[in-house]
Amino acid sequence: MTQSRRVLVIGSGGREHAIAWKLVRDGAEVLVAPGNAGTAAIAENVPLTGDDIPALVALAQSRAIDLTVVGPEAPLVAGIVDVFTAAGLRIFGPTAKAAQLEGSKLFCKQILHRGDVPTAMFEEFRSIARAREYLLAREDVPVVVKADGLAAGKGVFVCKDRSAAVAALDTLSSDPQFATATTGILIEERLDGIEVSVMAITDGRTIITLPPLQDHKAAYDGDEGPNTGGMGAYCPTPFVDSELLTEIESRILVPTVHALRRAKVPFQGVLYAGLMLTAQGPKVLEFNARFGDPECQSLLVRLESSLLELFDAATDRRLDSVEPPVWCAGASATVVMAAEGYPGPIEKGRPIRGLLAAAGVAGVQVFHAATRSVAGTVVSDGGRVLAVTALGDSLAKAKLQAYAGVREIRWQGAWCRKDISDKALAFEWAAAADAFDPDGVPDSIATDAGGDTMLGVGQ
Ligand code: AMP
Ligand code: GLY
């Protein structure tokens, strides 16, 4: 009998649960650091976090880990890949320099410029005062104000006019959480259109483009409310057909990978393009240096071939030798169940009921996003608590099954968006009539999400 491969996954969210789940299906023995109650059920949790890089190196050495996979961006930006590689350990993900594609919006823009990749026009400023002067001196148009560095998704302000943009600068200058992210400020043209996510696995030369998805970043139904890490996703999105995906690959992903290589920062790992489909074609809003969460969950339930093989081939710089991945037909949908108050302050430690019943719903996988076990009971441990994911032979069925799973689960204050994938369903249904209106999802399609067991939806 061949020995199973031992893989370490770093992170504790729904994305990492999905990665661990798929690697276990691929036959790997999986450790997760630190993991959550969901990963504990399928793998071995190790109580180390991504910022403790020396301890993770020691773990990889002492447990003879032959591949480490990094979920979140912070350890990548902090240089975990560089440290593991220097210690002779195999690790999947970009180096600290390459992860600047996500860690620094200015670096990202420079690479986009080098690669002649379409993106929003922008100006950069080294001080908030200069940015304010610029805003006051120019025409009053919608803009997006961005802090350069990582700010947990909070450093971006989409502003309808000048006064909103000036207010955004005031927030950036006064709130200490942005102190390290505001060494640079970008003021960007606001793009209009439909937002989609396209991810690719790359070894720095070859890329494998993955099926397109759509995230739901706003907290509440109808894209209302504050920005979040993502309240749901589905895959594939009909807004990107195969022709557009080929265009995105050739005009955006490939030139970005080449521009990085030419800049002597080859990128190995997951390249995530957040795109706006504008009237002038797809344009880059941002790049991430890792799988999206919850996009990863919707993606991996559809992957029939080996994820481990893709990670191995990218890590060993031989992606050109692997067979293209195989995706199951149909579609998937992921509904994030969140704690009361998210994305603001939340209470942790609420006992969760119904997980087994949800897992019994046809096609459903419940990925844990922030949970832990207390004396045998699974309790909530963060803002985005669960990512209930379902496969269906159509998107409508995947959505129905995901919400059937959601309906089985209860905890005090639990809530979710009820309209995950509705834009796509409206688009599919209106396609024949050529009458799609992205802001006008008909009530008949914004279906019975069945969220009446949940409190506070759309508060
Ligand atoms: P980012 O972190 O750069 O992806 O920005 C977060 C979110 O802000 C994106 O997902 C978009 O919804 C929005 N956004 C960012 N840049 C722009 C832009 N130039 N035009 C319109 N919306 C934007
Ligand atoms: N869901 C968006 C992200 O992972 O950045």
| Per-residue pLDDT at 219 exceeds 80 | yes
Model pLDDT, residue 181: 57
Q: Which atom of ligand 2 is nearest to the CA of 292?
A: 4
| Per-residue pLDDT at 319 exceeds 90 | yes
Q: Residue 214 CA: which ligand is closest?
A: 2
Q: Residue 285 CA: which ligand is closest?
A: 1
Model pLDDT, residue 127: 86
Average pLDDT over residues 1-14: 88
Q: Which atom of ligand 1 is nearest to the CA of 192?
A: 21
Model pLDDT, residue 195: 96
Higher pLDDT, 178 or 363: 363
The residue whose two tokens read 């006051």 is 136
For residues 221 and 457, the answer to whether their CB atoms sit within 8 Å is yes
Give the HSE-up count for residue 341: Cα atoms under 13 Å, Cβ half-sphere. 9
Model pLDDT, residue 173: 83
Model pLDDT, residue 80: 98
| Per-residue pLDDT at 439 exceeds 70 | no
pLDDT digits (tens, 9 = 90+) for 395-412: 999 999 999 999 999 999
Q: How far apart are CA 206 and CA 73, in angstroms?
A: 22
Q: Which atom of ligand 1 is nearest to the CA of 195?
A: 12
Average pLDDT over residues 331-340: 98
Q: Residue 187 CA: which ligand is closest?
A: 1
Please tell me the residue having the least CA distance from ligand 2 atom 5.
292
| Per-residue pLDDT at 417 exceeds 50 | yes
What is the chain's mean pLDDT, rounded? 92
Model pLDDT, residue 138: 87
454: pLDDT confidence band, cut at 50, 70 and 90?
Answer: very low
| Per-residue pLDDT at 126 exceeds 70 | yes
429: pLDDT confidence band, cut at 50, 70 and 90?
Answer: confident
Mutation probe of ligand 2 site: the residue of 102, 215, 270 with most atoms within 8 A of C-beta:
215
Domains in the chain, start-ordered, CATH in brackets? 6-96 (3.40.50.20), 121-189 (3.30.1490.20), 196-290+298-312 (3.30.470.20), 331-455 (3.90.600.10)
CA of 285 to the centre of ligand 1 (A): 5
Model pLDDT, residue 443: 45
Average pLDDT over residues 206-219: 97
